[in-house]
Amino acid sequence: MSGTAVSRGITPILTAIPGLSGTYGFPQVTINAGGQITSIVSLTTYTGNLSFTGKVVMAPTQGIALSLIANGTFNALGITGGNSTSPVVIAGTNTLGYQIAFQGTSALQGCVGIGPITVTGISSNSLGLASVGGNVVLGGNQGSIQVAVTCSNTTQPGITFTTTPTSQVPVVLVQAGTGANGASNGLWIYAGTGSSDVAFVINDNLNAVNRVVVLGNGNTTFYNQVGINGASPPAKLTGWGTPTGAAVVSNFPSSATLAQCGTAIAEIITALKNFGLFGA
């Protein structure tokens, strides 16, 4: 360790000296059997550079374990290293459950990790991003934001948006575009190839009632009435029985007989019932 003395009356200049293992002085310095510093406890104020070749543990019973204040344009904290066999790990075990917290002068501003302000229903092995009283903003300059999910559980969704309270709009897609034709596209969905695939679904908030279902082959089902050209959806016209003698009259003539009219009308009523516009 190099730099200015840690506290008045003690200058802990410690190097790898075999046989020096033990715990020493204030701040409390622990050295292993190989003469390497393994922990420093109650480091209060220090100006200068610190260099460690072993593990450093800071475990106060209260307050902040480590406070970093950057002067000028210097970074407060830089972490270099980490790979598949020796990653950089940031973990928390406090009762709030945050791995990293961002706090202003008087209140929590945001956090990374699980906790009471993150997404409802998040599990202990999930990563949560949250902001208290503000927005979580993801942005890419001159690029795009891409989310790639490899989901091994085929019964669970890859990405879920959950918002509270329920009166708020969960997702808003804004495409500013240029106003030119073909330059202000909205949402694109690539999914499904056959009738057993579901490309797009709108259900109620409990996921118990279907509203709209689009299958992979393009077949679409609306589970309620539909209004056209701004008209309110009309109620289903009920009371229709099962028409008899329905058939397609090809080349329907202007001088159609009564029998031909009856056959064509029966076919139309059958079609409207099949579409769900008429009901029994």
206 and 240 part of one domain: no
Indicate whether 134 pLDDT > 90.
Answer: no
The number of distinct structural domains making up the chain is: 4
pLDDT class for 88, splitting at 50, 70, 90?
low
Which amino acid, one-letter code, is at 92? G
pLDDT for res 245 = 93
60 and 2 part of one domain: yes
173 in any annotated domain = no
154 in any annotated domain = no
101 in any annotated domain = yes
165 in any annotated domain = no
Range with lowest mean pLDDT among 77-81, 84-88, 194-198: 84-88
pLDDT for res 127 = 66
1 and 60 part of one domain: yes
125 in any annotated domain = yes
113 in any annotated domain = yes
pLDDT for res 8 = 40
Torsion of CA 22, 28, 30, 35, to 10 degrees: -80
pLDDT for res 13 = 46
Contacts (Cβ under 8 Å, ≥6 apart) of 277? 225, 236, 237
pLDDT for res 14 = 47
255 and 198 part of one domain: no
24 and 57 part of one domain: yes
246 and 208 part of one domain: no
Separation CA 18–CA 171 (nearest Å): 62
239 and 271 part of one domain: yes
Indicate whether 253 pLDDT > 70.
Answer: yes
Rg of the chain over all Cα atoms, to the nearest angstrom: 34
Order of strands across the sheet that contains 100-103: 100-103, 108-112, 129-131
Indicate whether 148 pLDDT > 70.
Answer: yes
- What number is the average pLDDT over the span 157-170? 72
**How many distinct helices (H) and strands (E) make up the chain?**
1, 9
Q: Could you report the per-residue pLDDT of 33-67, keeping only the tens digit for each?
A: 776 777 666 555 556 666 666 667 777 777 777 77
Q: Could you report the per-residue pLDDT of 4-42, keeping only the tens digit for each?
A: 434 343 444 444 445 556 655 556 677 777 767 776 665
pLDDT for res 4 = 40
Q: Could you report the per-residue pLDDT of 173-227, keeping only the tens digit for each?
A: 877 777 677 777 888 888 888 999 999 999 998 889 999 999 999 999 999 999 9
The pLDDT mean for the chain works out to 75
pLDDT for res 249 = 92
48 and 107 part of one domain: no
175 in any annotated domain = no
pLDDT class for 3, splitting at 50, 70, 90?
very low
pLDDT for res 176 = 74
243 and 273 part of one domain: yes
pLDDT for res 230 = 93
Residues above pLDDT 90, as percent of the chain: 28
Q: Which of 131, 148, 179 is the last residue of a domain?
A: 131
212 contacts 202 by C-beta, under 8 angstroms? yes
pLDDT for res 12 = 46
7 and 63 part of one domain: yes
98: domain range?
Answer: 93-131
pLDDT class for 1, splitting at 50, 70, 90?
very low
- What number is the average pLDDT over the span 124-152? 72
24 in any annotated domain = yes
69 and 97 part of one domain: no
